[in-house]
């Protein structure tokens, strides 16, 4: 039965149904049948010119018999990209998989710390993508960090915007930033962020010693 949806990402109509799925085959025989799942079809009606419209077939255990329920399912699925980016920041960036820790509780402690770093990096990247020309408040990253970037890479002509800061951090990690290079990857971003933090701590300690000696 068609359900009319009007949401900001341009999906306006979907269809839903209930389906039963046979259990998967495993060595030793076929497993039990799966519980009934809701099948939700979502189509993009107003795609940009020259772009193939999106079409999703979503399987869910959530109820899907009303507009509100269908919208909730679509909203949760769109959050998938943020989750994937977070995992990239945690694994490809922070290198959580490179850890040689073997005890579970030690890995949990490391993940707890690096998760905060990954979230901060992800927030910075999303802000740079959503508001590239927005001025970067010095207190967001610290005056010392901006001084280091200015001395190493120069001050951008338009000043320190969200996009300019993000690109500078990646360049500090080895990203060249040519026209055909695209967006920097998480490894360059993570290396640049680490170097910036180390240099910032060194500058802060140096200034502290200078003030004490004076």
- Per DSSP, the residues of 81-98 read HHHHHHHHIIIIIT-GGG
The answer on pLDDT for 89 being more than 80 is yes
3-state secondary structure of 113: helix
- Positive or negative, the CA dihedral 87, 90, 92, 98 is negative
Distance CA 152, CA 173 (A): 12
Residues 74 and 86 placed together within one structural domain of the fold: no
Distance CA 148, CA 206 (A): 13
Backbone angles phi, psi at 59, to 5 degrees: -105, 130
Say if residues 93 and 187 touch (Cβ distance below 8 Å).
yes
Q: Are residues 72 and 125 in the same domain?
A: no
118 contacts: CB under 8 Å, gap ≥ 6: 86, 89, 90, 93, 94
Average pLDDT over the chain reads 81
pLDDT at 12 over 50: no
Residues 6+ apart with CB under 8 A from 55: 41, 42, 43, 44
Flag the least confident range among 14-18, 84-88, 188-192.
Answer: 14-18
Percent of the chain past pLDDT 70, that is, above it, reads 91
Domain count, the chain: 2
Neighbouring-strand partners of residue 60: 38
For residue 66, the SS3 value is: coil
**Same domain, residue pair 68 and 87:** no
Work out the average pLDDT over 48-60: 86
Q: Domain of residue 35: give its range.
A: 2-78
Out of 42, 60, 78, pick the residue that ends a domain. 78
Write the CATH number for 131: 1.10.740.10
Tell me, what DSSP letter sits at residue 101?
A: -
């Amino acid at each position: 039965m068609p359900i009319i949806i009007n949401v900001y990402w341009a999906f306006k109509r979907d269809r839903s149904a209930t389906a039963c799925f046979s259990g998967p085959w495993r060595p030793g025989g076929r497993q039990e049948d799966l519980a009934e799942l809701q099948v939700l079809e979502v189509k993009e009606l107003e795609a940009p010119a020259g772009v193939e419209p999106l079409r999703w077939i979503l399987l869910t255990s959530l109820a899907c018999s009303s507009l509100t329920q269908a919208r909730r399912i679509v909203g949760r699925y769109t959050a998938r990209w943020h989750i994937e980016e977070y995992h990239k920041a945690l694994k490809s960036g922070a290198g959580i998989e490179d850890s040689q820790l073997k005890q579970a509780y030690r890995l949990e402690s490391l993940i707890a710390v690096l998760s905060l770093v990954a979230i901060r990096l992800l927030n910075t990247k999303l802000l740079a993508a959503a508001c590239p020309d927005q001025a970067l408040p010095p207190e967001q990253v610290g005056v010392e960090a901006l001084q280091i970037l200015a001395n190493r890479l120069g001050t951008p002509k338009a000043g320190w915007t969200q996009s300019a800061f993000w690109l500078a951090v990646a360049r500090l990690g080895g990203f060249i930033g040519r026209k055909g290079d695209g967006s920097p990857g998480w490894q360059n971003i993570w290396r640049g962020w680490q170097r910036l933090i180390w240099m910032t701590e060194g500058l802060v300690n140096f200034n502290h010693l200078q003030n004490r000696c004076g």
